[in-house]
Amino acid sequence: MTPMLKTRQRNAWTLALLAAMSFAACRRAQQGETEVEGRSVGLDHATGAPVVLLQDHEHQTVLPIWIGPSEAQAIAMQMEGVAPPRPMTHDLIKTMLDTVGAEFERTVIGELRDSTYHARIYLRAGGKDLEFDSRPSDAIALAVRFRRPIYVATALMKGGNALELPRAAAGPATTKLAGLTVQNLTGALAEYFSLPPGRGVVVSDVADAAATALQRGDIILEVEGAAVTGVSDFDAKMRALKGTEARLSVQRGTERLQVSLAMVAG
């Protein structure tokens, strides 16, 4: 074997070893962490304080984290697909990071000290891995905007503050109808728009083929003048109107609109 071939082979082995070491390091970094998703943002009925609920992907455990009102709005509006009239702080941060080419990798809520949760944000920029201390609320608000994973230390998900979810849901949280996907309105978002609790559903997705003036983030308050109290109520009201055109009262930002939606018989 020529010296050049030996050098190439040695370099190949070195690269393979480094890749294996990097993969092992990633596996070690993931150990002891549970990936979660935002279940909802609402109000603690006992204290009136905003709280974000993080649930594991198996939908077995929820970790409540109490946050500030402005952070609750920032998380809830992004989760519900509602665009603010002007960029909020976390929207501005995302724009700045995108502009300078920084990659948002993940958020980790790693510990609870003195009754306060502590989080870390992991970025990559300029070929360097960067790590920042953060409040959980800010870390979550950015993660949902970048659509990047959120992790919680497994010990926290199994700790005394976590809640076990019931095995059967009380009712549907979303429904798909006439090219729309709608979901129940969170308490924080209802409060932001000065709506009474248990009123309205939010449009979370509109199929490309849907012939409607509705947009993602619209809040449907009434069907044919009757108040909508949730997903099941909206579904029942709309299915009763098959073959006709339903008149909807919709809130879009600060505007109240009247929108028609054709319900095809079938």
**pLDDT tens column, 216-253:** 888 899 999 999 988 888 988 888 888 788 899 998 87
- The CA distance from 68 to 78, in Å, is 16
126: domain range? 33-164
- Return the number of other C-beta atoms located less than 10 Å from residue 221's C-beta: 18
Structure tokens at 3: 């010296």
* Domain match, 143 and 49 both: yes
Output the domain CATH number for residue 65: 3.10.690.10
Give residue for tokens 């505007």: 255
Do 53 and 148 fall into the same domain? Answer: yes
Give the ranges where 82-206 is alpha helix by DSSP (H). Answer: 89-99, 136-146, 154-157, 187-192
Residue 20 in domain: no
Is a pLDDT exceeding 50 seen at residue 179?
yes
How many structural domains comprise the chain?
2
Residue 64 and residue 81: Cα distance in Å, rounded? 22
What confidence score (pLDDT) does residue 7 get? 45
Most confident by average pLDDT, 14-28, 43-57, 177-191, 205-219: 43-57
- The pLDDT value given to residue 171: 57
Average pLDDT, the chain: 81
Read off the tokens for 175.
Answer: 């429904």
Q: What is d(CA 263, CA 241) in angstroms, rounded to the nearest whole number?
A: 7
